């Protein structure tokens, strides 16, 4: 796992096991959790970018490692009963609870639990030709860890049903047409494109606003419009008491870049 923070406050988390296509296992999951927690707690970090090194973003669960950390080896040891021991302690939806925007730069194969995690990121860019696959039905598994919740919300019920039931492979260009990624760019331009997008957010968006908006988006997903609107009114009153609003308006009038304060540990 590689971790770096770039100006003006973008943390880049890179899966760095290219020889195993960045497959998901206990060791890589623990490093990933630590990196996300580190970025979320760092006041200098405003946006998180997640990508992979090599030909894959995350090619699903590690089914064949000889280290004993793989899903296949773990299943033999636990009879499949202790799933958290096999795939990590946190469900992928934890990414929706992180206060800062998480952008996935999908550089290559994005399969199974790798796809579930990518869909739980807030924004996704993909390299042209990158392969996607739900894979679960073709491994004797079910729609795991919340993908049956997030996939219909991104692509619609019919598309989600087809992708989950067929387990077929599709590429980045189709993923874009289906609404699963926001843009497809040549592979050699993916990092630069994603970082430029992340840096624009880091420079121009208030961290407190981003945190609250994420809470609203995912927290409001299951509620009715009356409750959502009432909660938004309360949050609006709270936002008016923060210095971000004055700075946002003043910088707009003065035609300059805003200087929003970082998130404090007590912020939402």
pLDDT (tens digit per residue) in 97-156: 999 999 999 999 999 999 999 999 999 999 999 999 999 888 888 888 899 999 999 999
High-pLDDT (> 70) share of the chain, %? 89
DSSP state of 24: B
Farthest-apart Cα atoms in the chain, separation = 64
Helix (H, G, I), strand (E, B) or coil at 65: coil
Q: Which CATH superfamily is domain 2-202 in?
A: 2-enoyl-CoA Hydratase; Chain A, domain 1 (3.90.226.10)
pLDDT score recorded for residue 162: 97
Is 50 exceeded by the pLDDT of residue 255?
A: yes
Query: What are 104's strand-pairing partners?
Result: 50, 124
Q: Average the pLDDT over each of 66-75, 236-245, 255-264 and give the range with the smallest value.
A: 66-75
Domain boundary assignment for the chain: 2-202, 206-254
Contact 21, 113 (CB under 8 A): no
Is 60 exceeded by the pLDDT of residue 76?
A: no
pLDDT score recorded for residue 73: 55
Find how far residue 181's CA is from the centre of its chain: 11
pTM of the model: 0.88
Select the highest-mean-pLDDT range: 25-29, 100-104, 222-226: 100-104
- 1-13: pLDDT as tens digits: 999 999 999 999 9
**Separation between Cα atoms, residue 115 and residue 132, nearest integer Å:** 7
Using pLDDT thresholds of 50, 70 and 90, give the confidence band for residue 66: very low
Is 50 exceeded by the pLDDT of residue 68?
A: no
Is 60 exceeded by the pLDDT of residue 81?
A: no
Question: Token digits for 266?
Answer: 């007590």
Is 70 exceeded by the pLDDT of residue 221?
A: yes
Q: Average the pLDDT over each of 70-79, 98-107, 253-262 and give the range with the smallest value.
A: 70-79
């Amino acid at each position: 796992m590689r971790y770096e923070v770039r100006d003006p406050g973008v943390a880049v988390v890179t899966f760095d096991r290219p020889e195993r296509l960045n497959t998901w296992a206990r060791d890589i999951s623990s490093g990933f959790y630590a990196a996300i927690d580190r970025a979320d707690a760092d006041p200098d970090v405003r946006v998180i970018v997640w990508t992979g090194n090599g030909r894959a973003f995350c090619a699903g669960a590690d089914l064949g490692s000889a280290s004993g950390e793989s899903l296949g080896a773990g299943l033999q040891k636990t009879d499949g009963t202790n799933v958290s021991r096999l795939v990590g302690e946190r469900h992928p939806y934890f990414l929706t609870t992180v206060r800062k925007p998480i952008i996935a730069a999908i550089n290559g194969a994005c399969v199974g639990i790798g796809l579930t995690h990518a869909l739980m990121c807030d924004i996704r860019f993909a390299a042209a030709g990158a392969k996607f696959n739900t894979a679960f039905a073709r491994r004797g598994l079910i729609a795991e860890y919340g993908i049956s919740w997030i996939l219909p919300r991104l692509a619609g019920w019919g598309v989600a049903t087809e992708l989950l039931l067929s387990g077929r492979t599709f590429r980045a260009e189709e993923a874009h047409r289906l609404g699963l990624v926001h843009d497809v760019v040549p592979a050699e331009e993916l990092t630069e494109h994603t970082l430029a997008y992340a840096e624009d957010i880091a420079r121009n968006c208030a961290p407190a606003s981003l945190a609250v908006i994420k809470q609203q988006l995912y927290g409001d997903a299951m509620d009715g419009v009356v409750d959502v609107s009432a909660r938004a009114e309360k949050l609006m009153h709270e936002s008016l008491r923060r210095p971000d609003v004055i700075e946002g308006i003043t910088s707009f009038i003065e035609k300059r870049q805003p200087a929003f304060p970082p998130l404090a540990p007590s912020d939402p």
